[in-house]
Structure 1
Amino acid sequence: MSTTIRKVLIPSFGDASHVTIVNAEIQPPAANQVQVKVLYAGMSGADQAMRMGYYPMQKKAPLTPGYCLVGRVHRNGSSSTKFQKGDLVVCLSIYDAQAELVNLPEKYLISVPKGVDLQQATAMILDWNTAYGMVYRSAKVSKGQRVFIHGLSGAVGYALLTLCKLEGAEVYGTASLSKHAELREVGATPFVYTDKNWVMGMNTIGGAHVVFDPLGYESWDESWRILAREGGHLIGYGGNLHMLNGGEARSQIPSITKLLARNMVPFCPQKTSFYYISRDQSTFEPELKALFDMVLQGKIKAPIRKEWTMDEVPEAHRTWTQSGGIGSVVVKIADDVEA
C-alpha cells in the first residue's frame, strides 16, 4: 500500500522556477530496499547542475534531487535484515534525498555512531568524504608540503583545508575577498581567483606540491602552471564553475582528457589525476567511518553555511550563487522525534 509524502520535484530542466514541492505516492520498499524517513539532506552544486540537466550521466526529468541524507529506518523490505526500525543511517543516495520518505538499497546504508550531530553527519557523507579521499589517498598530503585549494570557503574546499592543516601542510588557495579574514584565522593564505595574482604568488615561493582544483576547463591549465617543479600533483574534480556562474554547459570529457594527457609527457616530474567519489568504491564506507571518528574525537567540525527547510529549497536554488558564508549547505526535512 502506498504512502503520501511531500518531496522536492524538478519536473523539467531549466532555471530555479522549475523547482517545486509536491505531494506524491511512495510504494513500500522492494525486497532488498529499506524505506528511510529523511531528517536531513545535503545540498550542493550537483543539485544545481541536475536542475539544469547538466550533471554527467544524470537521470532525465522529472526527478527529486538530494545527493545524500541522514534518516531513520522506517520500514524494511522482505529481504532486508541489517537494520532495525528507528536505526539512524546515512546514504549517498545521488537522488531522492529531499523527500519525507525514500526507498534505498540496503547495501548503501551506513549506521551513524551515537553522538554524531545530524548536520555534521550530513556534511561528512559527500563533502568531507570527497575531501578525505583526495587528501589521504590521492595526494597523500604530508607535513611541510605546500597545498593550493581553489574554493577554500566551499564545502569540499574547507574540508580539504582542515584535513591538510591536520597533516601539517601549508595551505594556500582562492576565495572571494569577503572570506579572506576568516580563512586567515584558520591558517590559510587566500588569494582572489580572478586577479590571477595567485599564479605569481605561488611560483615565487616554489610552487605547490599539491593543487586541488574543482573548477575545470581553463582553470586546470592555470593550476598546472603553479605546480612545484620537483614533482607537483594537480588533482581535478567537479568542473562546473562555468555553468554555475551562468554560462552554458560544456562537456567535461575534453578537459578531463587533456588533464590526464599531461601524464604522458616524457620525463615530466609533475602529474595529474581526476577524482570522483562513488558509493560503490570499497573505500567509501571506511573513509566515512574514519570521518565520524574524527568528529567524535573533536578533531574536525564542518561549518554549516546554511540550513534550509524543504519548503525553502526553491529559494535556495534561486539564491545559490548569492549566498555567503563558509562550509556545507543542508536541508532539514523533519525533526528527529526518536532522538
Structure 2
Amino acid sequence: MPISIRKVVISEFGDVSKVNVEQSSIDPPKPGEVQVAPIFSGFSGADINMRRGLYPMQKKAPLTPGYCLAGRARTDGTHIRVGDLVACITVYDAEAELINVPEKYLIRVPNGVSPEAATALVLDWATAYGMVERAKVTHGQRVFIHGVSGAVGYATMKLCQLRGAVVYGTASERNHQVLRDQGAIPFVYTNKDWIKTMQELGGVHAVFDALGGESWEESYSILPPCSGGKEQGLLVAYGQNQSALSDTDASGGAVKPVAKLLFKNAKLFSNRSTCFFYVTRDQASFVPTVNTLFGMVRDGKIDVVIKNIWDMEDIKTAHQSWASSSGLGSNLIRISKE
C-alpha cells in the first residue's frame, strides 16, 4: 500500500513561491529497489537551477528536487539491510521523507562517518576529488578555484592542499579572513585583480571554474602563457552556476558554452587545455571515489565542513539565502531527525 509522506515540490519553474512542502504518497519499492528514509539531502546550485527550469535535460515540473542523500534503509535489499546508513546520488526526489532507490546506487556508510559528512562526500567532495585527479595536482603547483568558500570549492581547496599545492581563489569578501586562516589566498571576483596577479606569477597549473560563460574565458587567460612556456595548464569547468548565483538569465542553454570551451583544445602545440567535468552515479570510478573519501574522513585526513543546514520546512529560506550566506563548506536540507 502507498505510504503518506511529505516532500518538497517545485510546482512550476520560477521564483521561490513555486517551491513548497506538500503532502504526497509513495508506493512500495519495486524489485531491485530499496526504500530509504533520507536524513539529509544535499543543497546546491542544481536545486536553484532546477527551480528556475535551467538545469540541463531536467524533468518537467512538477518535480521533487534533491540531488543526493544520506539516510536509513527502510526495506531489505540483496546486500542492504533495514537500518543501514546509506548514501547515494539520486538527481531528483531526495527532498522527501521516503524515496525508492535502485539498490545498485546505494553505498553503505561506514562507522565513523556521520550522515552530514556522507551527504557532502557523495556529491560535493566526490566532484572535487575527481577534478583534482583529472588535473593531476601535485606538490608546489599553483591552482585557482572560483567560489573557493563554496561546497565543491572548499573541498577542492582542501584536496589540493593535501597534495601540497598553493591555492588561490575568488570568494565573497566576507569569507576572506577565514579562507586566509585555511591557507588560501582569496580575491574578490568582480574587480578582476586576480587575472593580473595570476598572469604576473606566470599563470596557474589548474583552474577550477563553476561559473561558466565569460568566466571560463578569463580563467583560460590565467593558465601558463602559450608562447615559450613549458608548464602545462588545465581549465576544469563544471557546474555553470553564474546565473544561479546572480539570478540572471541563462536562456542560452549549456551546450554552446561547453562546446566553445572544448573547442580550445583544437589549438595545435598549445600547453593549455580544457575539460568539462561532472560526476554521475554510473561512472566506474564513482563508488571507489566515495569509499576513498569515507576512508579519508575516518583517518582524519579531511574534515567535512557544513556551512548551513536548513529544515525541509524552511526550503524557501534555503533557496533565498543559498548565494548570500557566510562561511565555508556544504549546504544540507534536514529531512528527518534520528
TM-score (norm 2): 0.96
Does the Cα contact within 8 Å between 1:71 and 1:90 map onto a contact in 2? yes
Aligned to 2:27: 27
Q: Are 1:241 and 2:242 matched, yes or no?
A: yes
Does the Cα contact within 8 Å between 2:4 and 2:23 map onto a contact in 1? yes
Structure-2 separation of matches of 1:189 and 1:83: 44
TM-score (norm 1): 0.96
**1:254 CA displacement:** 1.2
Structure-2 separation of matches of 1:71 and 1:321: 26
Find the partner of 1:97 among 86, 94, 97. 94
Structure-1 separation of matches of 2:207 and 2:241: 17
Could you tell me the percent identity over the aligned residues? Answer: 52
**1:242 CA displacement:** 2.3
**1:321 CA displacement:** 2.5
Alpha-carbon RMSD across the aligned residues, in angstroms, is 1.0
1:7-27, Cα deviation, whole Å (9 max, x unpaired) = 111111110011111110100
Structure-1 separation of matches of 2:174 and 2:320: 21
Q: Are 1:39 and 2:36 matched, yes or no?
A: no
Aligned to 1:300: 302
Aligned to 2:181: 185
Gaps of 5+ in 1: none
Aligned to 2:228: none
Aligned to 1:87: 84
Does the Cα contact within 8 Å between 2:48 and 2:244 map onto a contact in 1? no
SS at 1:22 equivalent:
strand
- Shifted more, 246-255 versus 279-288: the winner is 246-255
Structure-2 separation of matches of 1:131 and 1:85: 31
Does the Cα contact within 8 Å between 1:49 and 1:244 map onto a contact in 2? no
**1:301 CA displacement:** 1.1
Q: Are 1:107 and 2:139 matched, yes or no?
A: no
**1:286 CA displacement:** 0.3
Q: How does 1:1-339 map to 2 (within 5 A)?
A: 1-76=1-76, 80-136=77-133, 138-229=134-225, 230-249=231-250, 250-336=252-338
SS at 1:321 equivalent:
coil
Structure-1 separation of matches of 2:277 and 2:326: 26
**1:177 CA displacement:** 1.0
Structure-2 separation of matches of 1:67 and 1:321: 18
1:236-270, Cα deviation, whole Å (9 max, x unpaired) = 11112124312111312111111111111111111
Does the Cα contact within 8 Å between 2:224 and 2:271 map onto a contact in 1? no
**1:103 CA displacement:** 0.4
User: AA paired with 2:307?
Assistant: R
